[in-house]
A and B are shown apart, each in its own frame.
Chain A
Amino acid sequence: MLNRYPLWKYLLIVAVLLTGLIYSLPNLFPQDPAVQISTQGDSALSQRRVERITQALKDREIPVKGVEKQGDQWLLRLESTDDQLPARDLISDRLGNDATVALNLAEATPGWLEAFNASPMTLGLDLRGGVHFLLEVDMDAALTQRLEVNASAMRELLRDERIRYRNTEINDRSLSLEFTGADDRDTARGLIRREFPDFDYQNDGEGRGARLVMTLTDQKVKEIQDYAVEQNLTTLRNRVNELGVAEPKVQRQGPSRIVVELPGVQDTTAAKRIVGATANLEFRLEARSDTPERETETIAFRNNPQRDATLLRDVIITGDSVSSANQSFDKNGGPQVSIDLDGTGGTLMNRATRSNIGRSMAVVFIEHKSRDRVEEDPETGEKTTVRDTYVERGIISLATIQSAFGNSFRITGLDSTSESSELALLLRSGSLAAPIYFAQERTIGPSLGQKNIDRGLLSVQLGLLLVVAFMLVRYKVFGIFANIALAFNLTLLVAVMSMLGATLTLPGIAGIVLTLGMAVDANVLIFERIREELRNGLSAQQAIHAGYERAFTSIIDANITTLLVAVILFSIGTGPVKGFAVTLSIGILTSMFTALLVSRAMVNLTYGGKPVKKLRI
């Protein structure tokens, strides 16, 4: 029998559509602007304290829609986004340092939908406001840093073995040591080789200029760089968590880049200072008057550049060995940071201070910075931007070692409390394994976000309306089928995007609009074919059958090629373009399903198995 579907096909279609409906529904419930209060450790907020806060908000005429407790966090739902900032300020004033208060958008999905694990699409930054940073990890610096650490360890090894060396030099990815003679070099080579297997060793020159050149193996270089990026990711995650942002995103992008997205953040300067801070500490001994010059370095004081001190090049420990750091005050009320070291850090520190009581130790503050400058090619006049990176070092404090240090001690000599609290935060969240630079930044104000949503919705609605009208006028009864299929297509598209946890961006909305326009294509192809078959003299039933069957290859070929393009778009695209590609790809798949199966089911239900004289198409 022509044009009849077996029951299971109808059931399958109904099942898919119901699922689509359930998972797309949460998007109809707009998210509430909210303030999220999280506390650290055991100082959880009591119900009473939260009630007092809501009362205070009400007194300030900030209506609170609802209060929820989620684990250790409290969520206060507000009526409008304009209330978010004043509410946050008020709450942070009241709670002080005990809690982190962050802006958030809270889902308003009803319970029965949540039971299906259905949740709405997350909105991209362009739709909800916030900051987007693209950070570039300085891979060369990661290598140099590692080589410096190795060089320092090698020098120590050579000193212990009483082998005289003259100079160390670091170049790109190789390290060279100069010796007074080839004999010394050969002994050193044997010694160092045993301890540092990750280098390729090479002799260079003889006699007084004998040098040992050590080049990192390719594999090790890759390892160091990977480690640098991974370590930076962890550190950035810690820092972002300390900032108290709801739903932040910290992701690796490509070999050397990291994306940080902070939705709802409005004070971008502060966010940037914390995220991008490359500050670290170094603990070094002051040089003795008889220390050879090549082992020393003169560094100025941070708060008094006129004053300087000559320090040893060798570093006892860096901020990486800090296990916890807290801001506090010294006897005179000056800001200080109390530091706890981890096991190895403690041992190293203890060993260095024990044998050097009476000498001075300096705490050096290091910051990696970059500056862009424009260079003009004298011949072509072409301008290129060159990034110069430089390191700023300054001594925070220089004090005499009174006794051997243990695992915990304090650093004084800081300028202000904000400096001490920032330093504590940075030491706590870990330092960056390699310096990072801002390669890209986007800040989107919340008002623009709302405007984008409104406009996007409006254009989806109007676009849909126009297409629906067009199809009705052109294909009459079949137009109705196509329109119902189109409505299901939109539902399925939204449902799949929500299920995949895709982020809806402005180009994503554009993708939806475009998909709607193109989605009817498959039905248009089929209907035109049916008309043609009718003209060729086929009966109504045969025409329907032939129309669907013959249009099939065209539809498949055309859609697969478009899908290929969309996939490529996804793989090369970043941020907004990716969003567009995702929508386009899903749209192609869902439109094939609805145009081929759903519209056919409706046609079959209406005409199938009955004598039909004339088709209204």
Chain B
Amino acid sequence: MKSLTNRHIDFMGRRQWALTLSGIMLLVSIGAMIIQQLNLGLDFTGGTLVEVRYANAPSLDTVRQVLEQNGFQDIAVQTFGATTDVLIRLKQAFDAEVGHNIVALLRDSGASVDLVRAEFVGAQVGDQLRDQSGLGMLVALGVVMLYVAFRFQYKFAIGALLALVHDVIIVIGLFALFGLEFDLTVLAAILAVIGYSLNDTIVVYDRIRETIRTSQITDMGKIINESINATLSRTLATSSTTLLVLLALLFLGGDMIENFAIALLIGIVVGTFSSIYISGALLIPLKLGREDLIPPQKPRDEEEEELP
């Protein structure tokens, strides 16, 4: 990897390509969100979910039939992890006893069944959680933007915000595109992606700020390019370690956090791309200039730079 640090990749020269690629991904994502719509999980829609374990792998059709004959409608039956584990979803929220009723029904039909877990979410809770989550995401973006504007400058804040929105839209879009279930853990993952991608972006911005202050280069594109190249090996190293642990989580963590791991994986890849390309490249159309950082320049705050 050492060769990377000596190589000067002209990121800014190719920024049109990167922006085009991002544009396409954003279009696909937004399209998928509108056409396919998000496959919202139980947490948000309300409804009932029952996971049962059979002693012997059952036929899913039989399970469905047994339940339909007993008046359950709108049910989805699928295996979960192993062929003996069956997940039954009811889009409607019946009363909360439904988990036990289902196990009882399946037992009556002659199979040996155990209840692994049952979840029931009332419709109001789901709606409320959905609103709350959307709001939480906006608040997170807002607070972060304020912090960046305070620590850097508002043009950086806009750049960082757009990069984050870009990441979030693409992750959600891909979840819509592939019909993956979007539940609370995925939401947590997306907020973690915001944190992570921001982390990356800040490191790049920090370097841009430093280069503007210390070098004599006037061409902003060149400054940004140099800063991205200087932080490139760090960006890639951190992304690699994070991706490594996420792969461990994806393959070993079990089905219950599979989507969480997928969301983070997509998010980290997109976030790394966006902090290399998008957040830096956006500073050029935003017309960031030396004067944005230099005029109020106080003597460099020594206390802040000192190690504890």
Contact = CB atoms under 8 A, between A and B. Distances in A.
Interface in A478-514: 506-507, 509-510, 513-514
Interface in B199-225: 199-200, 202-203, 206-207, 210
A521 B125 contact: no
A128 B261 CA distance: 22
Interface in A374-392: 374, 383-385, 387
A229 interface: no
Contacts of A447: 53, 114, 116
Interface in B213-252: 230-231, 233-234, 237-238, 240-249, 251-252
A554 interface: yes
B179 interface: no
A575 B248 CA distance: 24
Interface string A430-442: 0000000111111
Contacts of A507: 185, 188, 257, 260
Contacts of A464: 245
Contacts of B200: 558
B248 A506 contact: no
Interface residues of B, number: 84
B281 interface: no
A387 B46 CA distance: 13
A441 B305 contact: no
Contacts of B233: 528
A532 B261 CA distance: 34
B307 A565 contact: no
Nearest to A257: B125
B206 A554 contact: yes
Interface in B127-162: 129, 132-133, 135-136, 139-140, 143-144, 147-148, 151
B35 interface: no
Contacts of A126: 256
Nearest to B52: A445
Contacts of B295: none
A371 B95 contact: yes
B96 interface: yes
B11 to A, nearest CB: 17
Interface residues of A, number: 86
Given A136-B124, A474-B237, A521 B199 contact: yes
B291 interface: no
A269 B234 CA distance: 54
Given A562-B195, A600-B307, A272 B97 contact: yes
B72 interface: no
B96 to A, nearest CB: 4
A525 B202 CA distance: 12
B217 to A, nearest CB: 16
B230 A372 contact: no
B248 A520 contact: no
B269 interface: no
A514 B245 contact: yes
A470 interface: yes
Contacts of B185: 507, 510, 576-577, 580
A291 B63 CA distance: 58
Given A387-B124, A467-B245, A558-B199, A569 B191 contact: yes
A572 B132 contact: yes
Contact of B184 (A549, A565, A576): A576
Contact of B244 (A374, A455, A467): A467
A566 B191 CA distance: 8
Given A136-B124, A441-B120, A516-B245, A385 B46 contact: yes
Given A528-B237, A553-B305, A577-B184, A439 B198 contact: no
Of the candidates A387, A452, A509, A554, the one having the most CB atoms from chain B within 10 angstroms of its own CB is: A554
A208 to B, nearest CB: 43
A573 B241 contact: no
A384 B123 contact: yes
A448 interface: yes
26 contacts: A269-B97, A385-B123, A439-B125, A440-B119, A441-B96, A452-B256, A459-B245, A459-B253, A466-B241, A470-B237, A471-B241, A506-B256, A507-B188, A510-B257, A517-B241, A528-B5, A535-B5, A549-B306, A550-B305, A558-B202, A562-B195, A562-B196, A565-B195, A568-B139, A573-B184, A575-B184
Interface of A: 126, 134, 136, 268-269, 272, 370-372, 374, 383-385, 387, 437-445, 447-448, 451-452, 455-456, 458-459, 462-464, 466-467, 470-471, 474, 506-507, 509-510, 513-514, 516-518, 520-521, 524-525, 528, 531-532, 535, 548-550, 552-554, 557-562, 564-566, 568-569, 571-577, 580-581, 584, 596-597, 600
Interface of B: 1, 5, 46, 51, 53, 92-97, 99-100, 114-125, 129, 132-133, 135-136, 139-140, 143-144, 147-148, 151, 184-185, 187-188, 191-192, 194-196, 198-200, 202-203, 206-207, 210, 230-231, 233-234, 237-238, 240-249, 251-254, 256-257, 260-261, 264, 304-308
Nearest first, the 3 A-B pairs at minimum CB distance are A463-B245, A572-B136, A517-B242
